[in-house]
């Protein structure tokens, strides 16, 4: 890794200053090492977006790992694009604008940045595409062979969520952090275990059953570790 | 009358006056199919442009004037119109960079660059019921006037007429971009506020 120490920075562009700052707080709590800057509201403090404020926020969030800009509504994306254009060509290559769910996208991006994900990984984590999150079998031609092979190597374990929050908020972030660090292709109830948005979309509360599975031999230890985390009630073990 | 720095300043000053005068009408159009703030937002932006024009250096060229306007609009408008008009004036500024006085082909290049900037920034095309419709017709008519050998003033006049026609054409369209696109068929019969403000701004360019 060329810039192992530099986390990807986040800029949160909302029409509301309060929404931007509140979301930045949420991200900072779960991802303390990630540079996050809020750029919400118009220049007069009202509802809107401010290109100059976005440019300043990008400068603050850039610490060598690139910057993901997460924008809330249509014109926030226009303002973010304008800010990137004004910053110029060299800088633009190190900035990704993400048009996805604002709060969930920011939290997901933060978790991936915290665990050392690069700009592309952070962008994918925050975008709508990641919300689908399924890693299911490929149904294209020749997939039957794969499916048969996968059946033979499939490793699946179940556990019940005992902690009060279920697989939400901080526990979900911890889960994704661990899954990401283990590197293997693992699913939780069919969703990619590394996709925070995918996991949040499952809406798993206390008492719900989770099914953690892998088709890769090298993913078995990851399944065991994740099951252990769930069974511990996310008590830090 | 030549199209020089004085003209550029007069264009933006007249635009600011005309936007101020028509702000209630623009917001009224926007209330019907958007969020009702187009007039106020643009008026705030052009008021900032007007204030910035008094600080121009003595040797400013038309492109400098357009660039100052772009930056003020980008930072002061607040809604989507800020980045859109800001990008338009930014690209227009680049298109006439180094020209102390604009000829017919410079006017065509200026309007064409503005159109392309707005299309790119807004991810919109002609027929989407946006300000692109006004800029598109303006660019087409300006190019035709220049091809017929019109002087810069004639090219500007053609652009202003084209913009008015393009704005009118949005009445019958279903919106495919922006908040109006949520309304589907219900947007038909309403003029796009951004297309109307474009017509006002290009009318100011002609009369400056």
User: To the nearest whole number, what is the mean pLDDT of chain B?
Assistant: 95
Report residue A49 as tokens: 């977006």
CATH, residue A202: 3.30.1340.10
Under DSSP, the state recorded for A134 is B
Residue B71 has pLDDT above 80, yes or no: yes
Query: A183-209: per-residue pLDDT in tens?
Result: 889 999 999 998 877 888 888 999 999
Q: Confirm whether A105 is domain-assigned.
A: yes
pLDDT of residue A115: 81
Please determine, for residue B126, whether its predicted confidence score (pLDDT) is greater than 60. yes
Structure tokens at A205: 């509360």
| The predicted structure's pLDDT at residue A141 | 44
Q: What is the CATH number of the domain that holds A93?
A: 3.40.50.510
Confidence of residue B180 (pLDDT cuts 50, 70, 90): confident
d(C-alpha A177, C-alpha A111), whole Å: 7
- Asked if residue A237 belongs to a domain, the reply is no
Q: Residue A183: give the domain boundaries.
A: 143-231
My answer on whether A160 and A82 are in the same domain is no
Tracing tokens 């930056």 back to the chain, one arrives at B71
Number of domains in chain B: 1
pLDDT tens digit string along A138-159?
444 455 555 566 566 899 999 9
CB–CB contact A78 B179 (8 Å): no
Rounded to whole angstroms, the maximal C-alpha distance in chain B is: 51
Do A101 and A160 sit in the same domain of this protein? Answer: no
Same domain flag for A19 and A90:
yes
At A47, the pLDDT band (50, 70, 90 cuts) reads confident
- CB-nearest to A43 from B76, B178, B179 is B76
pLDDT band at A128 (very low <50, low <70, confident <90, very high): low
Looking only at the bridges linking them, the beta strands covering A67-71 and A95-99 are parallel
Which of A71, A106, A131 marks a domain boundary?
A: A131
User: Is pLDDT larger for residue A169 or for residue A11?
Assistant: A11
Answer whether A48 sits within 8 Å of B75, measured CB to CB. Answer: no
* SS3 of residue A210 by DSSP: strand
The percentage of residues in chain B with a pLDDT greater than 90, rounded to a whole number, is 87
**A77, A101, A131 — which closes off a domain?**
A131
Residues A151, A99 within the same domain: no
| A32 and A144 Cβ atoms separated by less than 8 Å | no
Cβ contacts of A66 within 8 Å, gap of 6 or more = A8, A9, A94, A95, A96, A118, A119
Residue of A nearest to B84 (CA): A78
B78 and A50 within 8 Å at the Cβ level: the answer is: yes
Domain range spanning residue B181?
Answer: 5-207
ipTM above 0.95, yes or no: no
For A85, list phi and psi in degrees, rounded to 5: -60, -40
pLDDT reported for residue B151: 96
- B115-144: average pLDDT: 97
What average pLDDT does range A83-108 have in this prediction?
90
Considering CB atoms only, which of B84, B90, B179 is closest to A78? Answer: B84
**What is the spatial distance between Cα B138 and Cα B152, in angstroms, rounded to a whole number?**
14
Domain shared by A28 and A126, yes or no: yes
Report the pLDDT averaged over residues B44-53: 96
A15 is known as an active-site residue: yes
**Strands, E assignment, A127-185:** 155-160
Q: Which of B97, B105, B101, B135 is nearest to B118 (CA)?
A: B135
Question: What is the secondary structure of B131-189 as a DSSP string?
Answer: HHHHHHHHHHHHHHHHHTT--HHHHHHHHHHHHHHHHHHGGGPPP-SSGGGGGGGGGTT
Domain termination residue (choose one: A96, A131, A166): A131
Task: Give how far A222 is from chain B: nearest CA, Å.
Answer: 43
Instruction: Say what the pLDDT of residue B34 is.
Output: 87
Determine the pLDDT at residue B94. Answer: 96
Write out the DSSP string of B41-101: HHHHHHHHHHHHHTT--TT--HHHHHHHHHHHHHHH--STHHHHHHHHHHHHHHHTTT-SS
Structure tokens of A112? 């991936």
Q: Are residues A153 and A118 in the same domain?
A: no
CATH number for the domain that contains residue B58: 1.25.40.340
Q: What is the per-residue pLDDT for A138?
A: 40
Range with the lowest mean pLDDT among A28-37, A121-130, B100-109, B186-195?
A: A121-130
| The pLDDT of residue A132 is above 90 | no
Shortest alpha-carbon distance between residue B171 and chain A (Å): 23
What per-residue confidence (pLDDT) applies to A236? 57
Cβ–Cβ gap B79/A43 under 8 Å: no
Write out pLDDT tens, residues A51-73.
999 999 999 999 999 999 999 98
Give the CB-side neighbour count of residue A197, counting CA atoms within 13 A.
25
For residue A89, what pLDDT is reported? 79
Of A15, A139, A146, A168, catalytic: A15
| Chain B residue numbers touching A51 (CB-CB < 8 A) | 74-75, 82-83, 86
Residue A12 near residue A37, CB atoms below 8 Å: yes
Pair A186, A75 in one domain: no
- Separation CA B170–CA A109 (nearest Å): 40
Nearest to A42 among B78, B86, B179 (CB): B78
Residues B99-103: what's their mean pLDDT?
96
For chain B positions 97-156, those within 8 Å of chain A (CB to CB) are: 121-122
- Of B81 and A172, the one with more pLDDT: B81
Other Cβ atoms closer than 10 A to A195: 26
A22 interfacial to chain B (CB closer than 8 Å): no
The answer to whether the CB of A98 falls within 8 A of the CB of A87 is no
pLDDT (mean) for B61-80: 93
| A107–B contact, CB cutoff 8 A | no
How many domains does the structure of chain A reveal?
2
* A3 part of a folded domain: no
- DSSP per residue over B115-127, as a string? HHHHHHHHT--TT
Q: Which of A13, A71, A81, A82 to mutate to test the interface with B (most CBs of B within 10 A)?
A: A82
Largest CA distance in chain A: 63
Per-position b or e across A107-130, b if 16+ CB within 10 A of its CB: bbbbbbbbbbbbbebbbbbbbeeb
Mean pLDDT of chain A: 85
Residue of B nearest to A50 (CA): B75
As separate numbers, helices (DSSP H) first and strands (DSSP E) second, chain A gives 11, 8
> Is pLDDT above 70 for B198?
yes
């Amino acid at each position: 890794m060329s810039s192992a120490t530099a986390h990807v920075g986040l800029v949160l562009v909302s029409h509301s200053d309060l929404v931007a700052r509140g979301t930045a707080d949420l991200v900072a709590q779960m991802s303390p090492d990630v540079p996050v800057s809020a750029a919400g509201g118009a220049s007069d403090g009202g509802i809107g977006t401010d290109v100059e404020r976005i440019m300043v926020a990008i400068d603050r969030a850039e610490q060598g790992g690139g910057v993901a800009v997460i924008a809330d509504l249509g014109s926030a994306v226009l303002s973010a694009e304008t800010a990137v254009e004004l910053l110029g060509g060299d800088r633009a290559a190190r900035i990704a604008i993400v048009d996805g769910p604002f709060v969930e996208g920011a939290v997901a991006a933060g978790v991936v940045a915290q665990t050392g994900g690069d700009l592309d990984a952070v962008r994918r984590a925050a975008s709508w595409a990641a919300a689908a999150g399924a890693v299911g079998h490929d149904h294209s031609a020749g997939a039957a062979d794969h499916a048969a092979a996968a059946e033979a190597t499939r490793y699946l374990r179940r556990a019940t969520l005992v902690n009060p929050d279920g697989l939400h908020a901080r526990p979900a972030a911890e889960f994704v952090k661990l899954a990401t660090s283990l590197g293997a292709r693992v699913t939780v109830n069919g969703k990619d275990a590394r996709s925070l948005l995918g996991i949040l979309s499952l809406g798993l509360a206390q008492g719900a059953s989770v099914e953690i599975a892998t088709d890769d031999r090298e993913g078995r230890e990851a399944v065991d570790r994740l099951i252990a985390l769930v069974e511990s009630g996310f008590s830090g073990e | 009358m030549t199209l020089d720095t004085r003209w550029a300043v007069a264009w933006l000053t007249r635009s600011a006056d005309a936007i101020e005068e028509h702000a209630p009408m623009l917001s009224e159009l926007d209330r019907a199919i958007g969020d009702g703030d187009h007039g106020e937002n643009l008026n705030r932006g052009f008021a900032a442009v007007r204030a910035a024009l008094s600080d121009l250096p003595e040797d400013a060229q038309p492109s400098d004037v357009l660039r100052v306007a772009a930056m003020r609009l980008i930072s002061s408008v607040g809604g989507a119109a800020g980045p859109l008009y800001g990008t338009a004036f930014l690209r227009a500024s680049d298109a006439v960079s180094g020209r102390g006085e604009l000829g017919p082909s410079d006017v065509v290049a200026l309007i064409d660059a503005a159109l392309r900037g707005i299309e790119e920034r807004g991810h919109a095309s002609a027929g989407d019921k946006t300000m692109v419709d006004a800029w598109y017709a303006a660019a087409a008519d300006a190019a035709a006037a220049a091809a017929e050998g019109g002087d810069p003033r004639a090219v500007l006049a053609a652009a202003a007429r084209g913009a008015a026609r393009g704005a009118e054409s949005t009445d019958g369209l279903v919106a495919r971009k922006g908040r109006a696109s949520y309304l589907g068929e219900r947007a038909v019969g309403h003029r796009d506020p951004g297309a109307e403000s474009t017509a006002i701004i290009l009318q100011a360019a002609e009369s400056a």
